[in-house]
Amino acid sequence: MYPDDMLESIENIAATRETRKQAEMEMLPEEAKAKLLSRFHPDYKESAFRNLRIGVNRGARTTHEIADLLEAFSDLDYSKIDLTPEYDTDLLVLGGGGAGVTAALFAESVGARVLLATKLRLGNSNTIMALGGMQASVDEHDSLLRHFCDTMAAGKQIGRRDLVKALVEDGPRVVKWLLDTGVDFDRDEAGNLLTKKGGGISAPRLISIGDHTGLNIMKVLKDEIGKRDRIEISEFTPAVELTTNESGECNGAILFDLGRKRHFAVRARAVILATGGSGRLHMQGFPTSNNFGATGDAIVLAYRAGAELEGVDSFQYHPTGVMFPEHMLGVLVTEAIRSLGAHLVNARGERFVNELETRDVCAAAIIRECENGNGVSTRFGKTGVWLDTPLVEEISGKGFLRNRFPSLYRQLMRVKIDISRRPLLVFPTLHYQNGGILIDEKGETTVRNLFVAGEAAGGIHGRNRIMGNALLDIFVFGRRSGLAASTKMCNEPGNLTLNHVYSYYDKLKSLRISSVARSPTLFPEFIVNKL
């Protein structure tokens, strides 16, 4: 339940609802957008960034949080680790989200033996939290080229053309694969895939399964992977280091058994890193919508092995993360609510941005309002703006929110907040790592036999990702990397060594770099901030 001071503010915004409904809100011209972003988007806050002092991307800009990890040593005492492999497999997949599972399924389907290791439970990932939908160009008013253009434009033209082309062109194909596997997407009366529009998307292109798209896809894939004989699953065993052979090619990993608290080595002919993003590093102190395990391990492991990174100075702050009640801090409120007409409203009851602008623009506009004193403060010292959910209920009819967004509705009803009657306090939440480890269109990195798929990969989304492209990305590049990695089945992996780590450490020492951080992080240090 909202405290009294917030209820007062809620009355203020209810008072302007009628006038807001009548008025149009123009989309911002390009110049104004650029100015807004450079002043208020966290990616442009220079004091939050520094240049890397070591490694392939030496001199490149990244956040302090990531630089700290890349310039750090590991907690591991390597001399105590037995490098005799306990597992010897064709393909080692690290990560049990959509990208990892897809890669494993495709690799297995062409005959590879796969070990899939994951930090938490299989399927416990950001994939399940993809609510609104997945982009795939299937509508008759749409084209692959439009999808390509939208993706490039949203990413400020930084995305690699060949990767974006692969993304959009494989879209319809992976949708077919998902349908064949037993995933059911929403349909229209004619049996066509139902397509919807979203922020930054120029034609109806979002396909979805109610409001739980990622969850329902993951359920099916998880069910499917359990039925494949050549795939072995290892849960609660995060990777803490990659291994390389004498030629510097990737040939396995050191995993950590969380239960037994011991390390063990896995040898493989190829490795796919699909461990997702880095939201739990809480860049610049932002709350995050990410899974508990999203601590950017892939970047650390791959970078030490010599893989090139791209765009790790660009993150997506989803405009609408929950700011109140506090135990839900950072939890995502789907973009679909804005697509359906919910206004973003400041403390004075004014609308301040067109809600269908791209995510970076909406987020920057919210931050601007809060910094300019137009935000609403909570008793925990947080500030946000209102997402006028009752307006959606007015537009679409009574009971609409409950039926259309049952999960969100329930979550808030548990704390006695009825989103059909009261708005939600929101603020940008760290949502997605736009960059990552650079891949080619087969998913291979600059390190031989090391592949990356999903959020950990870089080069696709440029400096801003549009809604629905992440879910597509994990299947497209999961499939591509799984198939490409399987072609390495006749490789001779060689002996496991940690030579790359030793030389990386020697470099760190010679540069007199001493970071207090220890990496990979594996789990965020949880601070109960109400103490």
In the chain, what is the straight-line distance between the N-terminal and C-terminal CA atoms, in Å?
A: 21
Question: 161-181 and 144-154 are packed helices; what angle lies between their axes, rounded to 10 degrees?
Answer: 120
Q: Find the binding residues for other proteins in span 371-400 (CB under 8 A).
A: none
Does 183 participate in binding other proteins (rule CB under 8 A)? yes
Other beta carbons within 10 angstroms of residue 57's beta carbon come to 18
Look up 338 and say whether it is catalytic: yes
Does 292 participate in binding other proteins (rule CB under 8 A)? yes
Does 230 participate in binding other proteins (rule CB under 8 A)? no
Does 401 participate in binding other proteins (rule CB under 8 A)? no
Question: In the bound complex, what is the minimum distance in angstroms from residue 139's beta carbon to other proteins?
Answer: 6
Question: In the bound complex, what is the minimum distance in angstroms from residue 152's beta carbon to other proteins?
Answer: 5
Question: In the bound complex, what is the minimum distance in angstroms from residue 19's beta carbon to other proteins?
Answer: 32
Q: Find the binding residues for other proteins in span 14-33 (CB under 8 A).
A: 30
CA distance 288 to 69: 19
Mind giving me the DSSP string for 404-434? Answer: HSHHHHHHHHTTT--TTTS-EEEEEEEEEES
Sign, CA torsion 366/369/373/376: negative
Helix (H, G, I), strand (E, B) or coil at 210: coil
Does 261 participate in binding other proteins (rule CB under 8 A)? no
Question: In the bound complex, what is the minimum distance in angstroms from residue 358's beta carbon to other proteins?
Answer: 12
| Both structure tokens of 435 | 């960059």
Does 418 participate in binding other proteins (rule CB under 8 A)? no
DSSP code, position 194:
P
Does 153 participate in binding other proteins (rule CB under 8 A)? yes
By CB under 8 A, which span of 87-95, 123-131, 438-446, 498-506 interacts with other proteins? 123-131
CA distance 281 to 519: 12
Does 73 participate in binding other proteins (rule CB under 8 A)? no
Mind giving me the DSSP string for 350-397? Answer: -B-S-TTS-HHHHHHHHHHHHHTT-SEE-TTS-EEEEEEHHHHHHHH-
Does 407 participate in binding other proteins (rule CB under 8 A)? yes
- Exactly one of 18, 24, 46, 140 binds other proteins (CB under 8 A); that residue is 140
- Exactly one of 80, 227, 398, 512 binds other proteins (CB under 8 A); that residue is 227
Please tell me which residue in 338, 404, 431, 479 is annotated as part of the active site: 338
Does 282 participate in binding other proteins (rule CB under 8 A)? no
Look up 318 and say whether it is catalytic: yes
Other beta carbons within 10 angstroms of residue 1's beta carbon come to 10
Does 262 participate in binding other proteins (rule CB under 8 A)? no
Does 145 participate in binding other proteins (rule CB under 8 A)? yes
CA distance 108 to 27: 47
By CB under 8 A, which span of 71-79, 80-88, 177-185, 491-499 interacts with other proteins? 177-185
Active site positions, annotated? 318, 338
